[in-house]
Amino acid sequence: MMNRYEQALEDMLWFASQSIGTRTHFVSHIEETFKVIKVFNQNGCSLEEGVELPKDHAI
């Protein structure tokens, strides 16, 4: 079962895909590393949730 935070992220990404029209949207967190938190993908890139990279490899 999704918590409210996860549901809000999913809803936000779905709405962005409907409004903007690209195939992949994601939410990430950047501090010491770049971490993908949530992905909404409709046959776009192969980005996966949970991927964590050094900042200099992500930007």
pLDDT in tens, 5-53: 888 988 988 888 888 878 888 888 898 899 999 998 888 888 899 999 9
Residue-number span of the structural domain to which 46 is assigned: 4-58
Burial environment of residue 11 by CB neighbours within 10 A (0 to 12, 13 to 18, 19 or more): exposed
Backbone angles phi, psi at 39, to 5 degrees: -125, 135
Q: Report the domain count for the chain.
A: 1
With 0.75 as the threshold, say if the pTM is over it.
no
* CA 51/CA 56 separation, integer angstroms: 14
